[in-house]
A and B are shown apart, each in its own frame.
Chain A
Amino acid sequence: MNPIEMNPVALQWLLYFGAMGLIVIGIAGVVLHQNIFRMVLALAIAEAGGNLLLVIAGFRFGAVAPILQDDALQTLNTSNMVDPVPQAMVLTSIVIGVGIQALALALIIRIHQRYGTLNMREVHACMMVDINKSAAVDDLLSAQQPRGRRPLPSPPESTAKRANNE
């Protein structure tokens, strides 16, 4: 593939559009979606958008990948390469992202076991009930109350078979 034949302006707009689009879609998903599993997916999408933006930051028209192979190993010509620094940063950030995602999924498994739901609003309500219970504060008086609607009735613990908390 010959990068020179690309139309630079259109290409750059397309790529920026793609990266910004991913970030916006991802953030919108996290803010608006009610399913916690889907929120984790949306977060990964937003992170991917950030990564794409970084790689675009290092891209040069007409440049090649920053790896010396075949002929270039003889000449050691590194002048027409794309910037390797953003690529290294993206490598780091992808791995960080997957670590955080795994932790989020572990938390989802536990939340689902204890509260029996994947709906963020219900999870939040159950959590507030638990917090208020442990603080021995009346629900209606709680400072958290005006945040949303009244807490849902007690979490479906009976079906969720509360894990033994030794």
Chain B
Amino acid sequence: MNSIVLNIALPLLVAFLLPLIHASSRIAARITGPLVLMVMMWSAVIVFKALEYPVSIALGGFLPPVGVSFHLDQLALLMATIIPLLMLLLWPYQYEQNLREQTVLLLLAAASSGLALSGDLFNIYVFYELISVASFGLAAANRQASSFAAAFRYLLISGLGTVLALTGIALIYTQTGTLNLAQLGLLSSRLDNPLGLSAFALILLGIGVKAEIFPLNGWVAEVYSTASTRTSALLAGLVSKLAVLAIVRILVVAYDDSEAGLMLLVFGVLGIIWGEFSAWRAQDLKRMFAYSSIGQLGMILLAFSIPGEAGMFAGIAMMLHHLVVKPALFLLTEKWNHGTDSLRGAARLSPLAAALFVLFALSLIGVPPLPGFWAKMLLMSGLVGMDTSVYYIALAVLMIATVVEAQYLIRIAVTLYSASDRSSELRLASNTGVMSLFAVVLLSALLTLTPLGSKLYHIAAESSNRALYIRTTFNVNPTPVLEHKNATQEASL
């Protein structure tokens, strides 16, 4: 179990040494990055397989809550496996002068793994900052004037978020005197007051910058339309999910009351409205997908705002669905980067890309057989199950947003398949290979829906179990998850 720290140590080590490796042998430098990612994936899978019940590991050998601890449960390890996998798919293989970009990508991989595993408030903040700085670098890596400006605005908004999150952490520390999430869970009564809630709001806003949360998402469209498509795919697909995951961990463990969840709901609904309507008005694909990802992230936040297993299940399902679909859609914009009108008749020139677009779009809308439908279904049934007027309003907003989403995505699909009136110079979207891989993942999820669903439910039950989290960290009687099902229900009552 301890070997999972390799997922952080190894990419950092290689990133530090990559300039030296490059100086001695260029070929070695080129293959090192993918090799490290493969090792990371392998190590995560091994631990994932060996894991029967959640485990907490103490870094530096200091037992929690005094030292920093990592919390290894199925959700964390699932993310730790997905991170190197997605990065391998989006790795810049063919570019020549990309040593620094590769270094930054490795650092991003290390930070992402750390964020997924960490069980300590300030440690989460540090890894989050590392992710931030790495993504500023990636956003500016294009070296266009506009990407510098976009990266700078991104940095400023992120910097504001940093200050807010730091203030929130300081407030929590003033109230409880601890940073360990599990101990915060034990002391959650001290956080159940306006001060504690405002601390959560500050952290939500601060970390929410990466999760494209409503008032702090001005950077999204700018960065995604100036950075390279790979970077956009990584930021929208991976980094935003990790930020959501960090927020959800804090929410589930330390804030076991409805007010903090309601906060998530409000920001989620605002994000849905703003994102989907902006996407509806967008005139080119990149910005359309950028805004639509704000809306999708709002839906994910909305899902996680439902307390208990139902919300966690819906949230994880939507998160994974978005994680597969959005990077694929962004890869599509690499060649189709002009206004939507110029896409007229593109289906004839590149039928595969157009077909894949239709597949992903239908799944994103939630057309029945596709995985996206089941994810949205879970969210809706979760909202209905809450049986409160606020959640019904959220449901109504979700319905309207789905209609809007369907309208603009189908508009694009129709444009793609309509007859072109001029000879367009559009070619095949260059990354259909990687995109097809995403499509295979999506379709295989469809085929294995039942086992996948029960597995995800298991994961959700485990990670929404606050008592289990606390017990794991303090290492009292680690027992298999299944026996705790009753305990979960008691805790949620």
Contacts and interface: CB of A to CB of B under 8 A. Distances in A.
A50 B133 CA distance: 19
A131 B333 CA distance: 14
Interface in A80-114: 83, 85-86, 89, 92-93, 96, 99-100, 103-104, 107-108, 110-111, 114
Interface string A112-146: 00110000000110110011001111100111100
Contact of A104 (B155, B221, B287): B155
Contact of B145 (A46, A54, A126): A126
Q: Taking chain B's interface residues, is the majority helix, strand, or loop, or is none over half, making it mixed?
A: helix
Interface in B142-192: 143-146, 148-153, 155-156, 159-160, 162-163, 166-167, 169-171, 173-174, 177, 179
B167 A50 contact: yes
Given A49-B163, A136-B342, A107 B148 contact: yes
B146 A103 contact: no
B339 A137 contact: yes
Interface string A20-31: 000100110011
A36 B160 contact: no
A47 B174 contact: no
Nearest to A105: B152
A144 B145 CA distance: 18
B32 interface: no
B287 A143 contact: yes
B156 A143 contact: no
Contacts of A40: 156
B145 A104 contact: no
Contacts of B148: 107, 110-111, 114
A43 B163 CA distance: 8
B170 A135 contact: no
Interface size class of B (residues with CB under 8 A): 35 or more
Contact of B174 (A57, A123, A124, A141): A57
B170 A50 contact: yes
Interface in A39-53: 39-40, 43, 46-47, 49-51, 53
Interface residues of A, number: 54
B337 interface: yes
Contacts of B291: 143
B226 to A, nearest CB: 6
Given A43-B163, A86-B170, A99-B133, 11 more contacts: A23-B167, A46-B163, A50-B163, A54-B169, A54-B173, A86-B173, A89-B169, A92-B126, A110-B145, A124-B149, A127-B226
Closest 9 CB pairs of A and B: A114-B145, A130-B146, A50-B166, A127-B149, A135-B284, A136-B338, A107-B152, A53-B170, A143-B282
22 contacts: A30-B160, A50-B163, A50-B166, A54-B166, A54-B169, A54-B170, A58-B173, A86-B170, A96-B129, A99-B133, A104-B159, A107-B140, A111-B149, A115-B145, A123-B152, A127-B150, A134-B225, A135-B339, A136-B339, A137-B283, A137-B284, A144-B221
Interface of A: 23, 26-27, 30-31, 36, 39-40, 43, 46-47, 49-51, 53-54, 56-58, 83, 85-86, 89, 92-93, 96, 99-100, 103-104, 107-108, 110-111, 114-115, 123-124, 126-127, 130-131, 134-138, 141-144, 155, 162, 165
